[in-house]
Amino acid sequence: MMNFPEITGLSFSVLLLFSVLLVKFIVTRFSDPRPLHYFRFYCQRLSDKVNNSSNSQNQQHIAGLVAILVTLSPLLVILWLFEAFIEVPWLWQGLLLYLALGSLSLGETSLSVAKALAAQQKYLARETLTPWLLRDTRQLSPMGLAKACIESQLLHHCAQLFTVSFFFLIGGGLAAIAYRLLLEMHFSWNVKRQRFLHFGQSADQLVKILQWLPVRLFVLLLLLFTSGKNLVLFTRLLRPYFFRLNNDLLIYCFALTLGIKLGGVASYDQQKLRRPAFNDPGRQPEPADIIHAGKRIKQLSVICSFFLLFTVVLLLAMPKV
């Protein structure tokens, strides 16, 4: 009788990750539920209560840190204790991962934006894209909408899919949902908005620290599989950004691989924020670049999938000592 290898450890986590991604992909074909939007609503109401703009900058900063501790600590403790009562551990892990993963429908949304811009339907493109963006879109030109859409695809995939998967593989469902809840706090109290400039600093810094390694892994994969003969040149250009605690490295790398300009001035709550501009020699983004960006991201996702599956096969094929 044939003996099948026991699936445990990393192999189990990888197979569960693919299973949950498949379930989420199927579910989003019919609807796009976002259960953590209720948590973001809670964060917004919490900030209304405790974020007082008349307080000093230090007091606002402390209030933001306390809000994180008061919210996350009991939630994570409850989830950790509740796991002991679950008879099917993989089902619980899968549920936590499902909640932690971001939406898989942004690719289709981006395609709709590209088609609307190509047909010169600026209003339709803006209304389709606005729910996915924090920045103001009313004054954006077609080029600005294309740039915002490309950046949104990239940051969403890296933060809510790639990084969530990374934490799930190294720490399980609890690590993935802890990161995602903190990310939702960061979105709710984003420091790019003036009223959260100090209150949201703690969430902003914690998210940047947690994302630092996954972002660099993502950039490494981009360089290896999409830069071609420009690998050495791109590496030299990106080197000064490697140790910065932000997403500049990621956006710059994507701008280089697509040959376009990204970054630059953006408006939040009707206030312009001057951000670094990346790849000045490149051309301005066009609607076709939105499609190219989506293809690059899908290509990288397929490569990561094959790499993980290959790792699982190797682990299962190794003789047990």
HEC string of 157-176? HHHHHHHHHHHHHHHHHHHH
What average pLDDT does the segment 286-315 reach? 89
Q: What string of DSSP letters covers 31-99?
A: ----TTHHHHHHHHHHHHHH--TTS-HHHHHHHHHHHHHHHHHHHHHHHHHHGGG-S-HHHHHHHHHHH
Among the residue ranges 41-55, 69-83, 177-191, 303-317, the one predicted with the least confidence is 303-317
Asked if residue 138 belongs to a domain, the reply is yes
- 34-56 tens-digit pLDDT: 778 889 999 999 999 999 888 89
Residue 316 domain flag:
no
Domain-located, residue 2: no
Looking at per-residue confidence, does 28 or 159 come out higher? 159
**Poorest-confidence range of 26-30, 140-144, 281-285?**
26-30
118-155 tens-digit pLDDT: 999 999 999 999 988 888 888 889 999 999 999 999 99
* pTM of the complete model: 0.92
Asked if residue 319 belongs to a domain, the reply is no
User: Residue 190: which of 270, 135, 119 has the closest Cα?
Assistant: 135
**Element (H or E) spanning 271, and its range?**
strand 271-273
Task: Give the pLDDT of residue 1.
Answer: 34
Is residue 25, in this structure, part of any structural domain at all? yes
For the chain, the domain total comes to 1
- 49, part of any domain: yes
Q: Is residue 321 part of a domain?
A: no
Name the residue range of residue 16's domain. Answer: 11-311
Instruction: Judge whether 58 lies within some domain.
Output: yes
Q: Contact at 8 Å (CB) between 39 and 79?
A: no
User: Which is higher by pLDDT, 321 or 253?
Assistant: 253
**Is 17 in a helix, a strand, or coil?**
helix
| Residue 273: per-residue pLDDT | 84
21-35, 68-82, 89-103, 194-208: least confidently modelled range: 21-35
